[in-house]
Amino acid sequence: MKILQPHPRSPPTHGSRSKAPFALSERMSPHADQIIHNNDDENDCWKSDMQPFFPRASFTKMCIPALLYSILFNSVLRVLSYVPFNSWMRINPSTLHQEDCFITPKSSSPPIAIVTGSNTGVGFETAQALAVRGYHVILACRSRQKGLDAVDKINQKISTVCGSEDISKVGKASFLQPLDLASFASIRSFCKTFSEKYDVLNILVNNAGINSQGDVTEDGLEICFQSNFVGHFLLTKLLVPSLMKAKNTYKSNKYKEEAGRIVNLSSVTHHFAPSNERTLSNGHGSADLFRNNGIHDKHFWLGSATPGVSTATYRESKLASILFTIELNKRYGGEKGVRSIAVNPGSVSSDIWRNESALTQKLYSLVYLTPKQGASTSIAGSIGNLPTDALYLQPYWQPAFGRKMQSATQSFQRSYPLPFPMFEMLGPYISHSVTVPRLPADCYKSSEQLWEVCEGLTSA
Ligand SMILES: NC(=O)c1ccc[n+]([C@@H]2O[C@H](COP(=O)([O-])OP(=O)(O)OC[C@H]3O[C@@H](n4cnc5c(N)ncnc54)[C@H](OP(=O)(O)O)[C@@H]3O)[C@@H](O)[C@H]2O)c1
């Protein structure tokens, strides 16, 4: 794989960087009033021969075919579900087998999990499923009231599931203190309280996210990139010592013990980052600040974190989550035993679409997955016995194009990288399968640069 020539990144459109986390001299250029233009050809610089990134226009074009594909396939599946011999197609939702899950020992206190943004949507369903499976789940939400309401709902569900059974067989939900990922002070305070109260963390699910951008956080960063990614970077880094103390074991003796597990929520939109932006003038004397050598350059990621520079911070945050997963495995995996996995929940009808019109939300509720279905990749990522090379899970069936769809382990099907990511946007739901994400060539270089930038931004 090779990367073509790099192009300049768009400059900031306003100057709201009063709390610049990097030294300004590091960002400044002598050509401050220059106007930078991107064009489609220049966008080729992001492409590798094998896995090209797709511009925003491709994403828009793909929505209608993906919708039709989904409606068609799901109708066919509905009919086929009545046919007794349909199992050969391997398009039934796969279950996570008990023997492929971590044990939750009944003798000691329940293992601890933290799920961010768990008062609603995919996060709520993930937290509830883990609690029902015996975990003590800490709901890490920015609103105390919403968090406490969600805790009540989960604990009520547990008492229903538990019934007259021994209460020690199930876990519980609890609320520690508010966690706002758009505030480094809030993250540090949350982690301090956690480590004062608990010694070990078994599972961390970095789930919280927003899909709107433009605002600036109290730390001076772009709100979407901080909430979805940089905040989770700091949270994870502060919790790694507790994750390293965890012992997660499987029922089957075949597999050795792991330390803690980290699940990072990504999205199909990672295929479309970086985007094909055409912006680009700057009236604030800093046009060249973000000139860089593309995705392998820390100034690229600095641009994502800086308000006003990129119009694609959601997609960039979701690509960053996968690169972060790679770097976490490199730094804390192996002998240290902390395993990280990125997951795409699929297209899910949840509160994340709260800013869309009522009609659009209705349409999404008809064709998208439910939050419960969307949680299946996070649950499999949290407690499943992952195949050794699994980096990314997604929830849809994908055609094998002549290759035999192989089973990765008992609970995990394997999908193949496809030329176009339509099959990962909408389609027949199969719960979770190991899939190859779309990464830049030399992704270790990108992940290292990203890591360094985040260390600078968070001072962690
Ligand atoms: N829905 C989809 O189609 C889809 C597709 C791909 C990936 N994803 C990813 O899946 C994850 C869950 O999404 P969802 O669909 O379940 O969304 P959702 O229903 O909107 O839930 C998002 C959660 O994140 C919380 N949150 C937002 N900003 C936060 C902050 N600064 N600090 C702490 N918590 C914050 C929200 O809290 P409040 O309730 O207080 O706002 C909420 O609990 C996200 O990372 C999203 O990017 C979703």
CA of 109 to the centre of ligand 1 (A): 29
pLDDT value at residue 82: 77
C-alpha to C-alpha distances, 220 to 19, 189, 191, 284, 390, nearest whole angstrom: 5, 19, 21, 17, 35
- CA angle, 187 then 190 then 196, to 5°: 140
pLDDT value at residue 71: 87
| Beta-bridge partners for 102 | 250
Ligand 1 mutation pick, 191, 348, 356, max ligand atoms within 8 A of CB: 348
CA of 209 to the centre of ligand 1 (A): 4
* CATH number of the domain bearing residue 330: 3.40.50.720
Residue 293 lies in a domain: yes
- DSSP state, 107? S
Q: How far apart are CA 321 and CA 181, in angstroms?
A: 15
Locate the ligand 1 atom nearest the alpha carbon of residue 211 and give its number: 47
Locate the ligand 1 atom nearest the alpha carbon of residue 208 and give its number: 24
Residue 230 lies in a domain: yes
Residues with CB under 6 Å of ligand 1 are 116-117, 119-123, 141-143, 146, 179-182, 207-210, 227-228, 265, 267, 344-345, 347-348, 350-352, 371
Quick check: 300 and 9 in contact, CB under 8 A? yes
Residue 329 lies in a domain: yes
What is the tally of structural domains in the chain? 1
Phi-psi region of 199 (alpha: psi -120 to 50; beta: other; left: phi over 0): alpha
C-alpha to C-alpha distances, 399 to 64, 72, 344, 405, 421, nearest whole angstrom: 19, 15, 18, 8, 12
- DSSP state, 200? -
Ligand 1 mutation pick, 227, 352, 364, 377, max ligand atoms within 8 A of CB: 352
- DSSP state, 220? S
Locate the ligand 1 atom nearest the alpha carbon of residue 122 and give its number: 16
pLDDT value at residue 87: 59
pLDDT value at residue 12: 35
C-alpha to C-alpha distances, 103 to 61, 62, 84, 161, 380, nearest whole angstrom: 45, 42, 34, 19, 14
Residue 90 lies in a domain: no
Mean pLDDT by 10-residue block, N- to C-terminus, for the chain (460 residues)? Answer: 32 35 31 33 42 75 86 82 65 81 82 98 98 95 98 93 63 97 98 97 98 94 97 98 94 76 96 53 44 71 87 92 97 93 97 94 92 97 93 88 66 75 86 89 88 96
pLDDT value at residue 17: 34
Residue 16 lies in a domain: no
Q: How far apart are CA 278 and CA 38, in angstroms?
A: 5
* Closest C-alpha residue for ligand 1 atom 20: 352
Residue 237 lies in a domain: yes
Q: How far apart are CA 141 and CA 119, in angstroms?
A: 6
135 catalytically annotated: no
DSSP per-residue letters across 224-291: HHIIIIIHHHHHHHHHHHHHHT--B-BSSTTS--B--EEEEE--GGGGG-S--------SSS-TTTT-
Q: How far apart are CA 352 and CA 368, in angstroms?
A: 12
Residue 423 lies in a domain: yes
- From 438, 430, 425, select the one nearest 414 (Cα to Cα): 430
Quick check: 262 and 237 in contact, CB under 8 A? no
Q: How far apart are CA 227 and CA 323, in angstroms?
A: 17
Check 250, 314, 368, 392 and give the catalytic one: 314
Burial group, residue 408, by CB count within 10 angstroms (0-12, 13-18, 19+): middle
CA 304 from centre of chain: 16
Residue 348 lies in a domain: yes
Range of the domain at 362: 56-83+102-458
